[in-house]
């Protein structure tokens, strides 16, 4: 039996990580109650009243029965949490972004080599979204031919009143491209079958009127695969309007040589109810695909990886490549950004 513990409950994504692992058969030993956001702690207490809270991380790190440490801590602190866990013989699952600097990435890679432990990041906009899983299957079946371009849109709701202070401070969140654009780097590599890429263009900006001028509320980047012919673009921002009934109208367009796919991940704003709408256009016509029953396998695969020392859920190579490219985009954007 796989047992995990949570160190770092500063982001609401922790709820999904706990639910996903327990649904996959893992047992949660509890969580470190320290947090920068009391609302997240209250959410855990409400959703998982049976879980044990501790006030010292060593209680989990020193426990030989715990196999896996999960973290959704302050982004700039996640790498150090992971490094400490791996040096104590634990595997690690991190919320994204798992790193906020190239230095942290190098330290993580070195620790993985030294300890032989597993380190994974949950890029949830692919790994836990049924419509993207369906798209992967259709692409593998040849539905659109060779994928030559992806276009991702990742608007998010700001929810300024309920965000902790670190959310607005780049030294803690790492920058908008290092943070939420990492989802789109992950999707580009997987959907195009690329193992690496280069950043062709990147920019960040501040447009909002309710946040400080140094808060990055808009970002974009362009990718060019270095292992095939594919190219990609993504735009991320914090401008989801209050009238939208979900946190963001996440959209993904996939262009192939023989067809195309459009995904409306979280809603169809004037059409069908529910989530996970996929629209396929190929030589035989167009059709809507309901993806709500597509199984999510990431957490089950991760539990299997911890048990069998495999990397079926996500490989280290892929995880670290996504991190590097997102950080490269962030660094490049900062160099070209004008006041």
Q: What's the pLDDT at 115?
A: 98
Task: State percent of the chain over pLDDT 90.
Answer: 96
Decide: 15 and 127 in contact? Cβ < 8 Å.
no
Q: Within 13 Å and on the Cβ side, how many CA atoms surround 122?
A: 26
Give residue limits of the domains in the chain. Answer: 3-122, 126-296+329-336
296 CB neighbour count, 10 Å cutoff: 15
| Confidence check: pLDDT of 338 > 60 | no
The Cα 162–Cα 300 span in angstroms is: 32
- For the segment 145-163, the average pLDDT, to the nearest whole number, is 97
The architecture in CATH of the region 126-296+329-336 reads: 2-Layer Sandwich (3.30)
| Confidence check: pLDDT of 334 > 90 | no
**Sign of the CA dihedral running 319, 315, 307, 130:** positive
Hey, what CATH topology would domain 3-122 get? Rossmann fold (3.40.50)
pTM summary value: 0.97
Nearest CA among 317, 297, 260, 268 for reference residue 133? 297
- pLDDT per residue over 184-231, tens digit each? 999 999 999 999 999 999 999 999 999 999 999 999 999 999 999 999
The Cα 202–Cα 136 span in angstroms is: 26
């Amino acid at each position: 039996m796989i047992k995990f513990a949570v160190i770092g409950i500063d982001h609401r994504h922790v709820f999904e990580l706990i639910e996903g692992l327990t649904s996959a058969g893992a047992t949660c030993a509890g969580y470190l109650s320290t947090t920068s956001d009391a609302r997240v702690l209250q959410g855990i207490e409400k959703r998982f009243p049976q879980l044990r809270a501790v006030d010292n991380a060593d209680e989990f790190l020193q426990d030989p029965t715990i196999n896996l440490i999960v973290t959704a801590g302050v982004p700039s602190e996640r790498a150090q949490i992971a490094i400490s866990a791996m040096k104590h013989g634990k595997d690690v699952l991190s919320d994204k972004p798992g790193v906020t600097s190239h230095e942290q990435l190098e330290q993580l890679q070195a620790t993985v080599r030294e300890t032989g432990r597993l380190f994974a990041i949950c890029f949830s906009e692919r790994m836990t979204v049924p419509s993207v899983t369906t798209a992967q299957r259709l692409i593998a079946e040849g539905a659109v031919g060779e994928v030559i371009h992806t276009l991702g849109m990742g608007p998010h709701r700001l929810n300024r009143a309920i965000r902790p202070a670190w959310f607005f401070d780049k030294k803690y969140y790492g920058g908008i491209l290092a943070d939420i654009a990492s989802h789109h780097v992950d999707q580009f590599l997987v959907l195009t079958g690329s193992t690496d890429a280069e950043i062709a263009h990147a920019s960040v900006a501040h447009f909002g009127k309710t946040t400080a001028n140094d808060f990055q509320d808009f970002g974009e980047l362009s990718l060019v695969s270095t292992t095939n012919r594919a190219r990609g673009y993504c735009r991320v921002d914090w401008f989801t309007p209050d009238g939208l009934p979900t946190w963001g109208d996440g959209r993904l367009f996939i262009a192939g040589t023989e067809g195309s796919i459009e995904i409306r991940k979280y809603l169809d704003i004037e059409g069908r109810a529910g989530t996970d709408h996929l629209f396929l256009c190929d030589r035989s016509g167009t059709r809507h695909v309901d993806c709500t029953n597509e199984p999510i396998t990431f957490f089950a695969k991760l539990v299997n990886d911890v048990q069998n020392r495999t990397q079926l859920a996500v490989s280290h190579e892929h995880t670290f490549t996504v991190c590097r490219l997102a950080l490269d985009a962030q660094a490049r954007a900062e160099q070209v950004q004008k006041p």
